[in-house]
Amino acid sequence: MATNAHSPIAVALAGAGPWAAKALAPMLAAGPETRLAVVWSRRPEAARELAAAHGAEVATTFDALLERCDAVAFAVPPDVQADLAPRAARAGKALLLEKPLALTLEAAERLAGVVEETGVTTQLMLTHRFRSCTDEFLAQAAGWNAFGARLAFLSSAFLRGPYACAWRIEHGALHDLGPHALDLLEAAMGPIETLICRGDPRRFVALACRHEGGAVSDVALSGVTPIEPTIFRLDLYGPRGALAFDAVAASAEEPWAEARRRFAEAFHSRQPSNPDVRRGLHLQRLIDRALRSLA
């Protein structure tokens, strides 16, 4: 277990699916700030395979996982995360959380409430927030005085491939693409005061937003648009003209080293990371507002 700022944090991984294998397990195992200590999954064979690939142990139960780590990273469906993360927090473990926090606002609020009660460190894995090119764009956006914006996040990921899983197909773009889109939009344009949502999250949704200060924005989200490559682009418009950010092109910059470094810094200082569970709860509230607008 990590005892000082120079010791790697022993991180357990809950989940052994595509995202765990592609991103979280390699990130945590690479160190030096962390080490992948143990893997647990509802599919034992997948846990054994992933653990063996990274020199980690295997836990047969989630409770056994909690006994062998300083922190828990989650690569499970949102409803499973909402059930397991409070248990980890009550055991005193730091949390590396995925977006969305949960499938419902009520579950997200319960998770955030346990984090507040226990005071454990959290970090939300909004990958674009761990890239220097995103920081550079947001620094420009801060001085752009934009009065309008358009964001499109359109993908075929829910049609086929490793991410076309049950919860994404059932709940659609607002839950999966929405946190990335809304977080980036607010960071560039300011907090959303009002929003109107139209469409079907399982097909295509359009949001019309008004931000603090009066700026407006339009958002288009879909995970079932049969296009290649994915489109994820934000355009700001203001007195100086247009300012564009292509998040797909920005993805060429890997976020893992910065995400790992920031998590370790927060863990050792016992301070919230940025973004953390509070940001996740705010984004969940925006998703809930969008769903209520649809209803």
Number of H helices, E strands in the chain: 13, 12
For the chain, give the longest Cα–Cα distance: 59
Q: Is it true that domain 132-252 has CATH number 3.40.50.300?
A: no
Phi/psi zone of residue 239: left (φ > 0), alpha (ψ -120 to 50 degrees), beta? alpha
Tokens of 118: 């226990």
For the chain, the average pLDDT equals: 97
- C-alpha distances in Å from residue 207, one per residue of 33, 35, 76, 152, 287: 40, 41, 28, 10, 11
Q: Which residues pair with 109 in a beta bridge?
A: none
Q: Give which of 271, 270, 283, 277 is closest to 4, Cα–Cα.
A: 270
Per-residue pLDDT band for 272 (boundaries 50, 70, 90) equals confident
Predicted confidence at residue 5, as pLDDT, reads 63
> Are the C-beta atoms of 103 and 171 separated by less than 8 Å?
yes
Domain with CATH 3.30.360.10 in the chain: 132-252
Per-residue pLDDT band for 63 (boundaries 50, 70, 90) equals very high
Report the alpha-carbon distance of residue 98 to residue 170 in Å, rounded. Answer: 18
Q: Which CATH architecture has domain 9-121?
A: 3-Layer(aba) Sandwich (3.40)
Rounded percentage of the chain residues whose pLDDT exceeds 90: 96
Q: What is the pLDDT of residues 76-109, one digit of tens each?
A: 999 999 999 999 999 999 999 999 999 999 999 9
Domain with CATH 3.40.50.720 in the chain: 9-121
Per-residue pLDDT band for 7 (boundaries 50, 70, 90) equals confident
Give alpha helix (H) positions in the chain. Answer: 18-19, 25-30, 44-53, 62-66, 78-90, 105-118, 132-142, 166-171, 173-176, 178-189, 247-250, 256-269, 277-294
